[in-house]
């Protein structure tokens, strides 16, 4: 009997060890060559082989991947940050989402998505953590630059094209952050109070389109709460909307550190906790499954979704291997340049100062803090390390005529770009010995005795996702540095403290910087007068919570000298171009902008240059609107370039010099002042709560309703040529579901080839519930040679006329009169006509 058992068991063991020892071959044996079997069948077969412990273990990540189960041949699902490129080593830096949306070019964004997808594969990763589709509700939102603007329809079209592009390369896209992550202030816990109608009508459409049209494979839940429930355990969002109403079959993961419970999360819709299974693990869930508190079928559903994505990506047959040849290819650089060029918005062109006439211009002043630096993107998890980048100054030097002289001056400095204070100015407290006393604590609160104390030479640390020392905490630590500072020159200084996360700076025992909060990499500053050779007592305290860790203490002189040099450069030039804007120190994940002004002394710089040279052009490089009223009338030309990726400089230079005709249109409204925006009076007015009582009236919908004139309206953008709209015809198409066809003629009546984004809005003349004055429903980008014309056709159906009715918990279109509004912006309507919905 024993011999018989051995004869049976030995062949089984041989097969088993062959399986474990050659997992790639085993995966092929198990799951390849199964043409008659569906993915569902393969998943079900594998699920039956898994223990409950293995299933639970799969619900928590390992940083940027899921856990492999080698004995079953289950691979890792490897992820990388996005959405502006692959944040895994160095790669192509593509234009920010706001610049993508400014192109209004869905086919081009599909190509961009495919290029990023190819680079994900080239890095040996499987999942891109993008796109970001959160609505730009407040203009100072820290992550507005990552997203596609303020309108749910434009947002949806960009999202679907981007996702389809990424996934065409056999890489999973991840639409994020679900939902209402429209501010970074208190994002980790703020409760968004929002009614059902604006939630479904404004903030969810892009997610819905991503699922139903884009077939997105992954969704990421947000940090914040919605109506009292954290998004990672919010049944209305995750179950009712995402998995039931929209029938999402893919993988739903948390944002990093966004899970707050074990049992409610496990019972809810979330499938995967990232970056690790802090709450979803054996110790928290196994007993609850065994005693029936949590059904194993609930765990199974989560595992099925994870495995399904792996099968759809073909990872059981072949995993993605690193291939440097796929990174920053010539084609990718061309796509990055084209998106950057199409996304640039010409906001003002008085007396046709643009494009610059090189035959008449012999000298040009290139001025500003964004001239010599390529501001490829904002800060945080979307920030890409580009293989190369081109600044505007560098591009102009290459593209201008050789006999055109460039007079360059920085003018002012932006935060985060000062130099670390050199070691020779630091002294240990009360001594003549160089150094700083550093006390390192394994907690965030500087409590108890330090784990170790050492003498540091300077404060300029970037530990990434690591810690200050081997064996020391990688997260959840704090440091106190004490020292004397002895400058060698008397004068005004600005102390800059860059950090991720909290900092406190004391000067002679006085607290002068206090930002003891979690945030992404940002810079805090303090202006002080120092005497040469005098010792100033300094204490700098810092803590790290989670994620990346960095801290730097720098100084700089105020901008008086730089400012003076800029004015002199403008005086001796035929034309002056001032490169202004923000940077990743001002627009980033983890915090919102403090205000909408150009940071530093840039407003004053523009006005000073304008006094010195009447031919002034301002180029704004930012991720969201800036206020311009204090200087706009003193300028002749204004361009908004956005954070435009690695080719930013070439794109700007091509537009300035007329090599490219600008065609970008604003995906957000530029206000004249913050007080004019819908969220003013609602943002930061309650601790831990933000009230979305502005409802559906966000962006241009609010400006229309309140009859407020914006600085520049949604959809606005000038060209070097002119377009004529005429001969609108409306035709009812009879079918089961009624449709209407709108045909008109667009003609280029200027002297240059150009592209126009034609925009179709609808207005419900009479409705049972308040509706916006107009809502974007269609758009088309049309390119025409001078003198040429083209028929443009828009087709709308009953769904396009619908609004969300909270009484019915569904969309409805009421019979009655509607207006079709066609124009070049939301405030520049060229053609309009009425039509009826009778059924």
Instruction: Mark the ranges of the chain whose per-residue pLDDT is less than 70.
Output: 1-37, 559, 735
Say how far apart CA 744 and CA 163 lie, in whole Å. Answer: 31
Active site residue 255: yes
The pair of three-digit structure tokens given for residue 149, joined into one six-digit string: 């603007």
Helices (H), 183-329: 196-198, 205-212, 235, 263-267, 282-290, 296-312
3 state DSSP class of 758? strand
Cα–Cα dist 651/375, whole Å = 12
Q: Beta-carbon neighbour count of residue 157 at 10 Å?
A: 23
Check residue 548 and give its pLDDT. 85
| Tokens of residue 773, six digits | 């004055």
Name the nearest CA neighbour of 152 among 683, 797, 667, 640.
667
Integer Cα distance of 504 and 425 in angstroms: 20
Burial grade of 739 (CB within 10 A; 0-12, 13-18, 19 or more): middle
- What pLDDT is attached to residue 735? 67
Report CA torsion sign: 30, 31, 34, 36: positive
**Tokens linked to 261:** 């419970």
Contact 360, 401 (CB under 8 A): no
- Residue 541: per-residue pLDDT: 98
Q: Which residues pair with 577 in a beta bridge?
A: 366, 617
Quick check: 160 and 111 in contact, CB under 8 A? Answer: no
Query: How many whole angstroms separate alpha carbon 382 and alpha carbon 148?
Result: 14
In 2-41, which positions are buried (b, 16+ CB within 10 angstroms) versus exposed (e)?
eeeeeeeeeeeeeeeeebeeebeebbeebbeeeeeeebee
Catalytic-labelled residue, pool 255, 500, 764, 805: 255
> Domains in the chain, please, with CATH?
335-416+559-668 (3.40.50.1700), 419-556 (2.60.120.380), 723-837 (2.60.40.10)
End-to-end CA distance of the chain: 80
Contacts of 383 (CB under 8 A, 6+ apart): 84, 87, 377, 584, 588
Q: Is this prediction's pTM over 0.75?
A: yes
Cα torsion 207, 211, 216, 217: sign: positive
Closest CA relative to residue 112, chosen from 340, 286, 359: 340
734 and 797 Cβ atoms separated by less than 8 Å: no
Tokens of 536: 């100033």
Alpha-carbon distance of 485 to 3, in angstroms, equals 83
- pLDDT in the model for residue 521: 87
Q: Is 136 helix (H, G, I), strand (E, B) or coil?
A: coil
Among candidate residues 31, 3, 29, 4, the one with its CA nearest the CA of residue 18? 29
Distance CA(27)–CA(717), nearest Å, equals: 54
Cβ-count burial of 668 within 10 angstroms (0-12 exposed, 13-18 middle, 19+ buried)? buried
Span 286-326, pLDDT tens digits? 999 999 999 999 999 999 999 999 999 999 999 999 999 99
């Amino acid at each position: 009997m024993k011999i018989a058992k051995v004869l049976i068991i030995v062949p089984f063991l041989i097969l088993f060890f062959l399986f474990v020892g050659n997992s790639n071959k085993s995966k092929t044996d198990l799951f390849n060559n199964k043409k008659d079997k569906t993915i569902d069948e393969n998943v079900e077969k594998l699920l039956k082989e898994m223990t409950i412990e293995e299933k639970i273990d799969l619900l928590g990540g390992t940083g940027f991947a899921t856990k492999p189960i080698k004995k079953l041949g289950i691979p890792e699902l490897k992820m990388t940050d996005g959405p502006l490129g692959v944040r895994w080593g160095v790669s192509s830096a593509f234009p920010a989402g706001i610049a993508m949306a400014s192109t209004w070019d869905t086919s081009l964004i599909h190509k961009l998505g495919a290029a990023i997808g190819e680079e994900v594969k080239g890095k040996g990763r499987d999942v891109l953590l993008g796109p970001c589709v959160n609505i730009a509700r407040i203009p100072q939102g820290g992550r507005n630059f990552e997203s596609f603007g303020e309108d749910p329809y434009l947002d949806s079209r960009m999202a679907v094209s981007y996702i389809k592009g990424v996934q065409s390369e056999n890489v999973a896209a991840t639409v994020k952050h679900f939902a209402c992550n429209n501010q970074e202030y208190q994002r980790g816990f703020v409760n968004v109070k929002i009614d059902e109608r604006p939630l479904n009508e404004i903030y969810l459409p892009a997610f819905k389109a991503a699922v139903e049209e884009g077939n997105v494979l992954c969704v990421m839940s947000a940090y914040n709460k919605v109506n009292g429930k954290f998004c990672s355990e919010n049944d209305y969002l995750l179950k009712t909307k995402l998995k039931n109403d929209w029938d999402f079959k893919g993988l739903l993961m948390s944002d990093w550190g966004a899970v707050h419970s074990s049992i409610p999360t496990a019972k809810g819709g979330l499938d995967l906790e990232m970056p690790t299974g802090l709450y979803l693990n054996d110790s928290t869930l196994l007993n609850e499954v065994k005693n029936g508190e949590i059904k194993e079928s609930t765990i199974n559903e989560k595992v099925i979704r994870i495995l399904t994505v792996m099968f759809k990506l073909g990872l059981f047959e072949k995993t993605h291997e690193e291939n440097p040849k796929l990174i920053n290819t010539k084609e990718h650089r061309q796509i990055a340049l084209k998106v950057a060029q199409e996304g640039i918005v010409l906001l003002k062109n008085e007396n046709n100062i643009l494009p610059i006439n090189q035959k008449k211009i012999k000298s040009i002043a290139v001025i500003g803090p964004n001239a010599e630096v390529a501001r490829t993107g904002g800060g945080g998890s979307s920030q890409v390390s580009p293989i190369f980048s081109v600044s505007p100054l560098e591009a102009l030097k290459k593209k201008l005529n050789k006999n055109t002289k460039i007079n360059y001056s920085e003018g002012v400095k932006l935060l985060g770009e000062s130099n670390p204070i050199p070691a020779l100015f630091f002294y240990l407290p009360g001594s003549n010995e160089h150094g700083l006393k550093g006390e390192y604590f394994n907690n965030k609160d500087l409590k108890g005795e330090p784990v170790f104390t050492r003498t540091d030479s300077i404060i300029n640390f970037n530990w990434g996702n690591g810690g200050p020392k081997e064996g020391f905490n990688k997260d959840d630590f704090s440091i106190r540095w004490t020292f004397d500072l002895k400058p060698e020159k008397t004068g005004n200084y600005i102390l800059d403290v860059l950090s991720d996360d909290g900092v406190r700076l004391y000067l002679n025992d006085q607290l002068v910087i206090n930002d003891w909060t979690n945030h992404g990499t940002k810079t805090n500053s303090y202006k002080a007068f120092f005497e040469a050779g005098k010792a100033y007592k300094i204490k700098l305290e810092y803590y790290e919570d989670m994620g990346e860790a960095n801290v730097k203490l720098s100084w700089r002189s105020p901008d008086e000298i730089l400012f003076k040099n800029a004015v002199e450069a403008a005086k001796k030039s035929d034309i002056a171009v001032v490169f202004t804007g923000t940077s990743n120190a001002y627009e980033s994940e983890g915090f919102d902008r403090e205000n909408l002004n150009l940071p530093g002394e840039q407003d004053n710089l523009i006005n000073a240059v304008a006094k010195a040279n009447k031919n002034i052009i301002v180029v704004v490089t930012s991720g969201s609107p800036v206020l311009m009223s204090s200087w706009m009338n003193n300028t002749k030309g204004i361009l908004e370039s956005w954070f435009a990726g690695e080719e930013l400089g070439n794109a700007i230079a091509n537009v300035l010099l007329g090599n490219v005709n600008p065609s970008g249109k604003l995906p957000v409204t530029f206000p004249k002042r913050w007080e004019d925006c819908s969220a003013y009076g609602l943002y930061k007015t309650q601790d831990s709560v933000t009230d979305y009582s502005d409802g559906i009236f966000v962006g241009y919908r609010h400006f229309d309703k309140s009859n407020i004139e914006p600085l520049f309206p949604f959809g606005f953008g000038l060209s070097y040529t002119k377009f004529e709209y005429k001969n609108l015809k409306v035709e009812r198409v009879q079918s089961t579901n009624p449709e209407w066809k709108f045909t008109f003629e667009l003609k280029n009546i200027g002297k240059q080839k150009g592209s126009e984004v034609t925009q179709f809005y609808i207005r419900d003349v009479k409705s049972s519930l308040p509706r916006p004055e107009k809502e974007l429903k269609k758009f088309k980008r049309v390119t025409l040679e001078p003198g040429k014309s083209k028929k443009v056709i828009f087709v709308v159906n009953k769904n396009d006329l619908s609004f969300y009715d909270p009484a019915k918990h569904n969309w409805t279109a009421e019979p009655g009169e509607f207006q079709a509004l066609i124009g070049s912006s939301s405030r520049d309507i060229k053609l309009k006509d009425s039509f009826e919905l009778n059924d």
